[in-house]
Amino acid sequence: MDHVSHPEIREAVARLCARFPGEYWRGLDRDRVYPTEFVNALTEAGFLSVLIPEEYGGSGLGLGAATAVLEEIHRSGGNGGACHAQIYTMGCVLRHGSAEQKARYLPGVASGEIRLQAFGVTEPTAGTDTTRISTFARRDGDRYIVNGQKIWISRAEHSDLMVLLVRTTPREDVKRASDGMSVLLVDMREAVGNGLTIRPIRTMINHATTELFFDDLSVPAENLIGEEGRGFHYILDGMNAERILIAAECIGDGKFFLDRGAAYAKDRKVFGRPIGENQGIQFPLARAHVQVSAAALMVDHATALFEADQPCGTEADMAKLLASEASWYAADQCLQIHGGFGFAEEYDIERKFRETRLYQVAPISTNLILSHVATHVLGLPKSF
Ligand SMILES: Cc1cc2nc3c(=O)[nH]c(=O)nc-3n(C[C@H](O)[C@H](O)[C@H](O)COP(=O)(O)OP(=O)(O)OC[C@H]3O[C@@H](n4cnc5c(N)ncnc54)[C@H](O)[C@@H]3O)c2cc1C
């Protein structure tokens, strides 16, 4: 089942991850601590700058290299959620930033000196309906003054810069609801305590996610990315990479559960024989393997389209849906096969089970993908 793409990257990532075993992740999970040493090791090895062009100090590789990195982290039992956004958030600056902004920020992001791994889109009252965001940036001379609130903004406390989506024109004053939003690059080092308050949210997984409150935060107008009013389109642009990379994490999770499930089924003896001799144990594992393999092909397909600069929004969505459901099925079966031991923290199954559940909700929930496929691919009438 293993992919053959980027074997050298996979081996190097697997070697690095072996230095961070289950015990490491368990300890962090227990106290909801950020995996600083792991993130530093990945940064030093250059794995977080694979998508940054060489002229800015990255390795200039395609998206497939990044999927290999994240899949292997997850297959090893770790979690890329603490830093995966360092790989792709910079895409907004790379694609839509000015030459000056790229020269100013990208080399630091590539070296890891600058952490650009927070992106603020979701708001408590807007939910998935992003055009309803109300965080507003008012132009005042050479500054923007930002007021509003964001929720579920991950890694905000571990980021030097944040890509922030704001309204710059009220929804009622634009022709299309998706117009009138803009992207600002917020320097968190200056903003926190000066109009930005970060409040961590404790969740069922160790994800460093937060709530943000903006109270007259002043941002230099030169930190506007691209054109004012076009921000929604810039954010949409970056979502394909994000969804494909998250799907790759799910494939890694799926393989983790299959590795662990099969090993345990061979080893555990009940009624005088390995439980894996029973077809009632074999078939769910085999089905999980089939589902993870099929989803992995969809991830590869979406990645190939992305690398060829072809439209891939639907394929990225479908890959994320299939991969998140395949990893969840594999997680459920792996836990079941482990019996009571599946619930013991030291096996890492329950932690990974909790972690992989996220991806049916974030970064886009399953229903929203189905709605996109129904209306955009099948031509069914829109329901909202
Ligand atoms: C741990 C975590 C980390 C996150 N990190 C970030 C981050 O870094 N930055 C960021 O901007 N956001 C982040 N998010 C937010 C995430 O993208 C959203 O939670 C997700 O998109 C779902 O939006 P919502 O929570 O507002 O759900 P809602 O939009 O309120 O939807 C709730 C449920 O209703 C369903 N639903 C809604 N409308 C319809 C409909 N018309 N038909 C059928 N079903 C519908 C949805 O599918 C969902 O299941 C994160 C979330 C979590 C939990």
Q: Parallel, antiparallel, or unpaired: how do β-strands 181-187 and 224-225 relate?
A: antiparallel
CA of 365 to the centre of ligand 1 (A): 6
Strand partners, 263: none
68, with CB counted inside 10 A (0-12, 13-18, 19+), is buried
Ligand 1 nearest-atom number relative to CA 365: 47
Q: Could you tell me the pLDDT band of residue 33, with boundaries at 50, 70 and 90?
A: very high
Is the pLDDT at 340 greater than 80? The verdict is yes
Pocket test for ligand 1, best of 34, 87, 121, 128 (most atoms within 8 A of CB): 128
Provide the 3-class DSSP secondary structure of residue 39: helix
On average, the pLDDT of the chain sits at 97
Substitution candidate for ligand 1 out of 117, 130, 152, 367 with most atoms within 8 A of CB: 152
Rounded to an integer, the average pLDDT of 34-38 is 98
Residue nearest to atom 17 of ligand 1 (CA): 363
What is the percentage of the chain residues whose pLDDT exceeds 90? 98
Q: Which residues, at least 6 apart from 153, have a Cβ–Cβ distance to it below 8 Å?
A: 118, 119, 120, 122, 162, 209, 210, 211, 212
% of the chain surpassing 70 pLDDT: 99
Among residues 83, 106, 67, the alpha carbon closest in space to that of 305 is found at 67
Where would I find the beta strands (DSSP E) of 41-195? 116-120, 136-140, 143-154, 161-167, 181-187
Dist. CA 348–CA 16, nearest whole Å: 19
CA dihedral sign, ordered 283, 284, 289, 291 = positive
Residue 209, classed as helix, strand or coil, is strand
Give 105 Cα–ligand 1 centroid separation in angstroms.
30
Which atom of ligand 1 is nearest to 154's Cα?
Answer: 8
> What's the gap in Å between 360 CA and the centre of ligand 1?
9
155 confidence band (pLDDT: 50, 70, 90): very high
pLDDT for 243-267, tens place per residue?
999 999 999 999 999 999 999 999 9
| pLDDT attached to residue 2 | 53
Q: pLDDT at position 258, please?
A: 98
Q: How far apart are CA 177 and CA 57, in angstroms?
A: 38
**Per-residue pLDDT, 4:** 63
In angstroms, rounded to a whole number, what is the distance separating the alpha carbons of residues 318 and 373? 8
Token pair belonging to 200: 């961590």
Ligand 1 atom closest to Cα of 122? 11
What separation in Å is there between the alpha carbon of 98 and the centre of ligand 1?
Answer: 31
**pLDDT at residue 252 in the model:** 98
Q: Rounded to the nearest whole angstrom, what is the distance from the C-alpha of residue 128 to the centroid of ligand 1?
A: 5
Cβ neighbourhood burial of 336 (10 Å; 0-12, 13-18, 19+): middle
Cβ(341)–Cβ(347) below 8 Å: yes
Compute, in angstroms, the gap from residue 42 CA to the centroid of ligand 1.
Answer: 29
Query: pLDDT tens across 274-306, in order?
Result: 999 999 999 999 999 999 999 999 999 999 999
Predicted confidence (pLDDT) at residue 119 exceeds the cutoff of 80: yes
- Judged against a pLDDT cut of 70, whether residue 3 lies above it is answered with no
Structure tokens that stand for 82 in this block: 């603490």
Expressed in angstroms and rounded, the spacing between residue 152 Cα and the centre of ligand 1 is 9
Closest atom of ligand 1 to 129 CA is 29
Q: Ligand 1: residues whose CB is within 6 Å? A: 119-122, 127-128, 152-154, 203, 207, 209, 358, 361-365, 367-368, 371, 384
> Among all chains, which residue has been given the structure tokens 């390795």?
59
Q: Which ligand 1 atom sits nearest the alpha carbon of residue 150?
A: 11
Asked whether residue 1 carries a pLDDT value surpassing 90, the answer given is: no
For the stretch 55-67, pLDDT in tens is: 999 999 999 999 9
Rounded Cα distance between 243 and 236, Å, is 11
The predicted-structure confidence for 193-229, as pLDDT tens digits, reads as follows: 999 999 999 999 999 999 999 999 999 999 999 999 9
Q: Where are the alpha helices (DSSP H) in the chain?
A: 7-18, 22-31, 36-44, 63-75, 84-88, 91-96, 99-111, 188-191, 231-267, 279-307, 313-337, 349-357, 366-372
Residue located nearest, by CA, to atom 12 of ligand 1: 122
- Nearest-atom index, ligand 1, CA of 126: 26
Residue 181, pLDDT > 60, answer yes
